[in-house]
């Protein structure tokens, strides 16, 4: 009987995993948003480039798409600005030159600026060191003292 249960489980398990939808990381175009929309709610990652054809920009977007759930778990939204002429709120505030990756915290503070693409592992490690993120983790998972 146990063999039959194992066989049925082994056959149908891949189908249940495929039926689940892949998580989608929230993505915004910079000219349409401001920091006020995310203040105390989300951690913006702002990705700048002078063109959507910039290889560093393409690589960064690949990295972000590889592990969206790790970023969603940390309340991350991605804001993309590939048009210097649009002069978005984020471009005015952060004043990037060429490709730039900017990690911001929920309070609107600039935590990290990078001139090259970062993978999700590097981003999540950095976020986990933010004071607000550490406080959130303590609230979610108290030590039991």
Q: Which pair of structure tokens corresponds to residue 55?
A: 């290889």
- pLDDT bucket at 42, cuts 50 / 70 / 90: very high
- pLDDT bucket at 90, cuts 50 / 70 / 90: very high
- pLDDT of residue 80 exceeding 90: yes
Domain ranges of the chain: 23-140
Mean pLDDT, residues 62-75: 96
Q: What is the pTM of this model?
A: 0.81
Mean pLDDT, residues 41-60: 98
Higher pLDDT, 133 or 6: 133
Backbone angles phi, psi at 113, to 5 degrees: -120, 135
- Span between the terminal Cα atoms of the chain, in Å: 46
pLDDT tens by residue, 91-103: 999 999 999 999 9
Mean pLDDT, residues 31-45: 96
| pLDDT value, residue 109 | 95
Burial 107-132 (b: 16+ CB within 10 A, else e): eeeebbeeeebbebeebbeebeebeb
| pLDDT value, residue 145 | 52
Mean pLDDT, residues 119-140: 91
CATH topology for the 23-140 domain:
Glutaredoxin (3.40.30)
Mean pLDDT of the chain: 87
Q: Which pair of structure tokens corresponds to residue 117?
A: 């693409």
């Amino acid at each position: 009987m146990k063999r039959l249960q194992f066989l049925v489980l082994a056959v149908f398990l891949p189908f249940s995993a495929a039926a689940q939808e892949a998580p989608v990381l929230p993505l915004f175009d910079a000219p349409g948003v401001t920091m006020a929309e995310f203040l105390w709610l989300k951690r913006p990652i702002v990705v700048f480039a002078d063109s959507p054809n910039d290889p560093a920009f393409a690589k960064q977007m690949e990295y972000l798409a590889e592990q969206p759930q790790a970023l969603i778990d940390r309340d991350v939204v991605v804001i993309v600005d590939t048009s210097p002429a649009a002069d978005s709120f984020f471009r005015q505030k952060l004043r990037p030159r060429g490709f730039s990756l900017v990690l911001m915290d929920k309070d609107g503070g600039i935590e990290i600026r990078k001139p090259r693409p970062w993978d999700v592992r590097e981003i999540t490690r950095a976020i986990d060191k933010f004071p607000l993120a550490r406080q959130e983790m303590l609230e979610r998972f108290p030590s039991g003292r």
